[in-house]
A = this chain, B = another copy of it.
Amino acid sequence: MHDLAGADPALRFSPYCWRTRFALAHKGLAVETIPWRFTDRDAIAFSGQYRVPVLQDDGRTVFDSWSIAEYLEETCPAPTLFGGAVGRAHARFVNAWADAVLVGGIAKLIIRDLLDIVDPQDRAYFRASREARFGQTLEEIQAGREERVLAFRDTLTPLRLVLRRQEWLGGPAPSYADHIVSGTFMWPRCASAFPLLADDDPLCAWQERMLDLYGGLARSAVTVLGSHD
Interface residues of A (CB under 8 A from B): 80, 82-94, 96-97, 99-101, 157-159, 161-162, 165-166, 168-172, 175, 177
- B80, B157, B172: the one contacting A100 at CB < 8 Å is B157
B157 in contact with A89 (CB, 8 Å): no
Taken together, the copies of this chain in the complex come to: 2
* A215, chain B: closest CB distance, angstroms: 23
A contacts with B: majority SS = helix
B157 in contact with A92 (CB, 8 Å): no
**A97 to B158 CA separation, bound complex (whole angstroms):** 5
**A158 to B94 CA separation, bound complex (whole angstroms):** 8
Q: A100-B158, A100-B161 are in contact. List 17 more A-B contacts (CB 8 A).
A: A83-B83, A83-B84, A83-B90, A84-B86, A84-B87, A88-B171, A89-B166, A89-B171, A90-B90, A90-B93, A90-B94, A90-B177, A92-B166, A96-B157, A96-B159, A96-B161, A97-B97
- B83, B85, B89, B162: the one contacting A93 at CB < 8 Å is B162
B87 in contact with A86 (CB, 8 Å): yes
* A7, chain B: closest CB distance, angstroms: 33
A90 in contact with B175 (CB, 8 Å): yes
Residues of B within 8 A of A168 (CB): 89
**A80 to B84 CA separation, bound complex (whole angstroms):** 12
A170 in contact with B100 (CB, 8 Å): no
Would you mind naming 12 contact pairs between A and B with Cβ atoms under 8 Å apart?
A: A80-B86, A83-B90, A86-B171, A86-B175, A87-B90, A89-B166, A89-B170, A90-B90, A93-B158, A96-B157, A96-B159, A97-B158
* A203, chain B: closest CB distance, angstroms: 13
* Also in contact, A93 and B94, with CB within 8 A (given A83-B85, A175-B86): yes
